[in-house]
Amino acid sequence: MQVTYKLANCELTVEGADAKAVFDEIASAIEVFGHSRCGACDSERTALVTRDYDGNTYREIKCQDCGSVLGLGQRKDGKLFPRRKDKEGNWLPNNGWAKWGNRQVEDEIDDPFLKGGKR
């Protein structure tokens, strides 16, 4: 079964064996690609960014206006999810969107780039 699903900023086409599998794939894709606005400044100019640092690949959604990013984590099954909570399960400010140099968020997210690493 193949389904095309339209979002505000893109169109997704997913395949699955049945409606349940297609639903799960769409839900997973929306969680990553369903961000049409920056959570810090409300801009619609966001871009998907992938960067490598010290042998690790980091994926994030970056605001082209204010520079804030929404980091994406990866589950054991390989699917991505937006990082909106710290290690203790507390919600991050701006629903996870953070600018470089925000020490509170830097300390809560385990990402060497946020902690002064280089691109």
Question: Secondary structure of the chain in the HEC alphabet?
Answer: CEEEEECCCCEEEEECCCHHHHHHHHHHHHHHHCCCCCCCCCCCCEEEEEEEECCEEEEEEEECCCCCEEEEEECCCCCEEECCECCCCCECHHHHEECCCCHHHHHHCCCCCCCCCCC
Round to whole Å and give the CA distance between 35 and 93.
16
Round to whole Å and give the CA distance between 2 and 13.
7
pLDDT per position as a tens digit, 10-33 = 888 989 999 999 999 899 888 888
pLDDT per position as a tens digit, 30-73 = 888 887 789 999 999 999 999 898 999 999 999 999 999 999 99
Decide if pLDDT at 103 tops 50: no
Q: What is the pLDDT of residue 71?
A: 93
Q: What is the pTM assigned to this prediction?
A: 0.72
